[in-house]
Chain A
Amino acid sequence: MRLAEHSYRTISSIRGPLIFLEKVFSCRIGEIVRIISPSGEEREGEVLKIEGNTVLIEVFGETKGLDIKNTRVIFTDSIKSIPLSEDMLGRIFSSSFTPLDGIPAPLPETWAPVTGYPMNPVSRARPEEFIETGLSCIDGLNTLVKGQKLPVFSCAGLPSKEVVASLLRYARLREETGEGRRFVIVFGAMGLTFHEYYFYMKTLEELRIDFVAFINMADDPVMERLLTPRFALTVAEYLAFEKKSDVLVILTDMTNYCDALREISTAREELPGRRGYPGYMYSDLASIYERAGRIKGAKGSITLLPVVTMPEDDITHPIPDLTGYITEGQIVLSRELHQKGIFPPVDVLPSLSRLMQNGIGEGRTRHDHRKIANLLYKYYARARDMRRLEAIVGREGLTEQDRIILDFGDAFEREFIAQKERRTVIETLDLGVSLMKRFGLAI
């Protein structure tokens, strides 16, 4: 601990979001600095690198208007933390942590560093409590459980925000939470356009569920985009593990986050990896995604639903690829289904929930859940194969049985995948069974 704040006016260069400061005699890595521009505006920055008495500082927010001579840098001797309080519920904040709803900021109950600490793997409880999302394609075939991280892989132009909105509207925990536990949504948006912002705000306000939102707009500073998911998760950890809530965190859009990461990395002159993204992107994404989970003996949970827009619809692009390696499955949206007018346009074949096994069956959903899911999956996969065959030999060239399968595939998409209203998991399973029965398929 230093006894007094010390300030410097020894900036040697400013480059993008980076400032080089000289003749610094004491500072910490990761320390927060306050930067006062000549016009008196204040912004924050973080110590990124120390080399002798030269310090590299990364500025959160705009560097426009800073100069070498008159800009003052004040060292605070603390690392980036945010104030936390239960009064944050129902509030909307910007990515610089200022309230966007015009009400003063809540009084902090405690403070926590935004980067968090890794959860001890032996403290983790295995995720196994079913979350009913109300969507058949998820509940029936790719079941979500509490503490899971399940991304939505979308493509440009697909209704990912409408899918997220239906999840927000429909998602419930099956067993009553009781004991003062509650269900809270933390919403983190990176690089949002106004159009999207408007849509999400309207959805959140209609919800009547407790939520906290952090909004980084498309024209907000890029550096803040890197902080947004961390704000959201720090709040989520507080609500989950100190206030015993079941928290659903929605992060959209991780593609904007990764692009910001690349932009900052390039500014730091780091070695670029695949497609220019930094080599540490896996670890960086993991430091976000891995904050989801449950703790043994603790009441709350963090479930994470990030949205990733796949550039060029390519699932092997580094962003969806690295995301898929960290998360426990993925929900893949399909352009083809969207064009057919199916909503939600979820392609169940490449979609997967790795933790499904833990959350279904007797006592959780229904004893025959696994069996029904496997059968639907099998028949639908066969129908998709048949479609390819049909394109070659024509419908006439198929056997009677193949034609039935083909029709089943269409009905499955129109009636099971597509939905306008919330379905309980029991309704979903019954629907699946009746669909197979209607086509005389073996169950």
Chain B
Amino acid sequence: MREIPGTITGISGPTVIAEVKGVRLYDRVYVGRQMLTGEIVRIEGDRAVIQVYEDTRGLALGEPVRSTGMALTVRVGPGLLSNIFDGLQRPLKRLEEDMGFFITGGKELYGLDYLRRWRFYPLKKKGEEIRYGEIYGYVEEGPFKHYLLSTRDGIIRWIADGEISLNETLAELEDGSELFGCEEWPVRKPRPFKRKLSPGEPLITGQRAIDLLFPLARGGTAILPGGFGTGKTILEQSIAKFADVDIVVYVGCGERGNEMAEMLEEFMKLTDPWRGRPLMERTILVVNTSNMPVAAREASIYTAVTMAEYYRDMGYHVLFLADSLSRWAEALREISSSLEEMPGEEGYPTYLASRLAGFFERAGIVETLAGRIGSLSMILSVSPPGGDFTEPVTQACLRTAGAFLMLDTSLAHRRHFPAINWFQSYSLYTGELMEFFNKKISPEWSILRQRCNEILQKEESLREVVEIVGMEGLQDSDRLLMHIAERIRLEFLCQNAYTEDAFSPPERTVERLKALIDLYDRTLELIRKGTPFEEALR
């Protein structure tokens, strides 16, 4: 590490200008006597423009700046799971021990606990060859085998076995280099893998409306846009609780503090329905609430996705959830405008779409360097201003996201939750996944799905007629359809996040729909034979 000193010559909000020579773009810098963390975002001659990730209040002209010569990184290794970090990967619990209930800034804390002891099990022997990204051993992190991946090629000269901590050498190679249990990774650089595969396995969310109508794929991406009060957060959290994945990384990006408190408490109590273990054991939380520094909010999704990729590389199925991507985009906008860049649509920088696309591309199901299959799926909520989906962030997301789950304000007003609009939402993975559902869950899956869609379509067109002539004016068969459609909406598509019903395994999902559609078929038969509506329904 080569450290480069400099001095502050200008400050404007979170942007600091410093006189400093020989730095690189996106290097991490410590700013001022408080040692605030920042990143170099622009270089003009000997002047560097620094984006500071903490509150700059009290920073003075002439204070020192120190470049670390390294990019903004996170530390990845055992001990990330069941932890809660801020946008710069500082563990919030230890921050609380140090600073009390309020975050005052200017404190560097590592994301990992270097004193904690782990039992290390080697998987390679002395004299064996190892390649970059290959597994050489593991430690037990909760219920998971936390595989340790080699950071270089070589032949093992010595390998540890037994209790270790993260600052100890785990293996030595013939060329004298050492392997450690943790590594630093630049957040803005995707972690490598052997090759990307096409998504073909479903990501079961336990939400009936999603699993049946708009199925998601492991390694796929989905966005959840909706105005305020449409239940984005509740839905994101329900998915975080019940999704059939190994590991969940959840980013509270510019959202409410109380929500995070609630989520923390719940995750401590709940168990993972797929494994029966405490939910927190499989979860990493990254929290940057709306009142925490804006620039760190921008970094938070990168911090989180890097940790998610790290677990993917061990061959796990990881789900990345962010609430909300709009807050990230707004942070980008604030930073951009403080750098006096030329604004694009609605003040967002013109690189919004390409940044977003680059970020979405970090999702995928891959063959890892170690030859395993791992996936990183993303479900991201979007908060369009005024609930208007034509705004730039939603539109930019639509171009890359594989599924669009539109949350509808009018459904939310009717207390229909999850308020997923069944006409406008879509999933591009449907085709690939149907086969899986038909084979593994129920042979009737795609037929029932089709029937469900038809009934809902028909209901919509009949609704206009009902507005004019009233229910009484309909034919009995149409009245039946209206009745069944209503029950599909209320009993099938609606799902109460606060009761047992919050999680619906796919087998139960298909059963429930089948019961309703069977009822429809049976009753329709009776009506055709001349039985009056009320009687037939009984």
Interface residues of A, Cβ cutoff 8 Å to B: 24-31, 48-53, 79, 113, 115-127, 147-148, 241, 270-274, 279-280, 282-283, 286-287, 290-293, 295, 298, 316-318, 321-322, 324-326, 328-330, 349-350, 352, 354-355, 357-358, 374, 377-378, 381, 389, 392-393, 397-399
Contacts and interface: CB of A to CB of B under 8 A. Distances in A.
B294 interface: yes
B228 A321 contact: yes
21 contacts: A30-B56, A52-B9, A53-B61, A117-B105, A118-B102, A120-B101, A122-B92, A122-B261, A124-B258, A124-B261, A147-B258, A283-B290, A286-B290, A286-B291, A287-B290, A287-B291, A321-B228, A321-B386, A322-B385, A324-B227, A399-B471
Contacts, number: 199
Given A116-B102, A122-B93, A126-B265, A50 B58 contact: no
B225 to A, nearest CB: 13
A316 B258 contact: no
Contacts of B93: 122
Interface in B405-439: 413-415
Contacts of A393: 468, 470
B262 A27 contact: no
Nearest to A286: B290
B10 A324 contact: no
A115 B60 contact: no
Interface in B288-305: 289-292, 294
Given A26-B60, A117-B103, A290 B260 contact: no
Contact of A324 (B57, B228, B290): B228
Contact of A377 (B60, B96, B415, B472): B415
B270 interface: no
Identify the 7 closest CB pairs spanning chains A and B, nearest first: A316-B386, A286-B290, A124-B261, A290-B291, A117-B102, A324-B228, A30-B57
Most buried by B among A24, A52, A117, A377: A117
B186 interface: no
Most buried by A among B11, B259, B388: B11
B167 interface: no
Chain A interface, >50% SS class: mixed
Chain B interface, >50% SS class: mixed
Nearest to B385: A321
A330 B471 CA distance: 34
B99 interface: yes
Interface in B376-395: 383, 385-388
B269 to A, nearest CB: 11
Contacts of A354: 229
B52 to A, nearest CB: 10
Contacts of B327: 282
Interface string B327-360: 1001101100100000100110000000000000
A336 to B, nearest CB: 16
Given A51-B10, A271-B337, 11 more contacts: A25-B61, A28-B59, A31-B58, A49-B10, A49-B12, A50-B10, A118-B257, A121-B84, A124-B258, A147-B258, A393-B468
B483 to A, nearest CB: 15
Nearest to A55: B61
A273 B287 CA distance: 26
B290 A290 contact: yes
Nearest to A290: B291
Interface in B87-109: 92-93, 95-96, 99-105
Contacts of B388: 316
Contacts of B58: 28-31, 79
Contact of A124 (B56, B260, B294, B334): B260
A119 B102 contact: yes
Contacts of B95: 120
A290 B101 contact: no
Contacts of A272: 347
B10 A328 contact: no
B192 to A, nearest CB: 33
A399 to B, nearest CB: 7
